[in-house]
Every structure is written in structure tokens, then in C-alpha cells.
Amino acid sequence: MTILGVGVDVVRSGRLRQTYEKHGERFLRRYLHPTEIQQFQKLTDHDAQTQFLASRWAVKEATYKAFKSWRILFPDILLSKEVSDVLLPPHIDVATLPPQVAPRVPVLVFDGQARVLADALRVSVCC
């Protein structure tokens, strides 16, 4: 397996919150995938919204850095948290756990031009 690139990012969550409060829906459309916008709009807690924005920003910025010289758009990157049994011991069946207890594993999904590029470069996401 060849490593295309590594990306890391640190976010000032307060700054993101201020940007959202200033620009509102326009800000969300410029950097969130449509599915993420729907997820964000369901959140009512101020801190949960801020954490959501910060986590998505960090993942997208790190992904952007990992792609180096290829330009990808933030709305083409979706961070999805799927219920998974990846981290569970073999004797525990994820289907038997209540939804609030089931482990959630972040999954990076590419859409639009980012998907075309990822497919062309044979990119698979790790960790």
C-alpha cells in the first residue's frame, strides 16, 4: 500500500462558531456535505453544534492536506459515523446492543469530484 499523503488539523472551535453565527446557512453550504447539513440542523444544543462543526472542519482540512496538489471541495467530503462491530470483542454482536451503546466508527466518504479523484488515485481511507 502506497501512502498518498497524511493530513492533520487542529481547530479553534470558538472561531468556527463565530463564523457560523456571522454567515449562517451560507457557511454551512460552502463546507458541509448536504447530509451533514441535515445532521447539523437536527442539533439543538449549542455545544453539540460547535463540536459537530469543529470535527467536520478538522477531518476535511486534514483530508485536503493529504491530497496535496489535488484540489478537492469540502462539500464533497462526508464524515459518517456508522455503527460497527470493528472494535467489539468477537463474542458481542452489535445487533444486540441498544443504539446509544453501539460503537460508532467514523467513515470518510467521497462524493462529486473528490470521489472521481479518489477512485482514479485508488485512495482508500485508513484510521
Crossing angle for the helix pair 46-66 and 13-23, to the nearest 10 degrees: 100
DSSP string spanning 16-79?
HHHHHHHHTHHHHHHHS-HHHHHHHHH---HHHHHHHHHHHHHHHHHHHHHTTTS---GGGEEE
- CATH architecture of the domain 13-121 equals Alpha-Beta Complex (3.90)
For 104, phi and psi rounded to 5 degrees?
-115, 125
- Mean pLDDT value across the chain: 79
Residue 127: the pLDDT is: 46
Domain spans, the chain: 13-121
Q: For the segment 71-87, what is each residue's pLDDT rounded down to a tens digit?
A: 888 999 888 776 555 55
C-alpha grid cell, residue 35: 447530509
Angstrom distance (rounded) from CA 41 to CA 68 = 31
Q: Is the pLDDT of residue 53 over 90?
A: yes
With cut-offs at 50, 70 and 90, classify the pLDDT of residue 117: confident
What is the Cα–Cα distance from 94 to 91, expressed in whole angstroms?
10
Distance CA 125, CA 121 (A): 12
Residues 30-45 have pLDDT tens digits of 999 999 999 999 999 9
Q: Which residue has the higher pLDDT, 5 or 28?
A: 28
Task: Judge whether residue 46 has pLDDT over 50.
Answer: yes
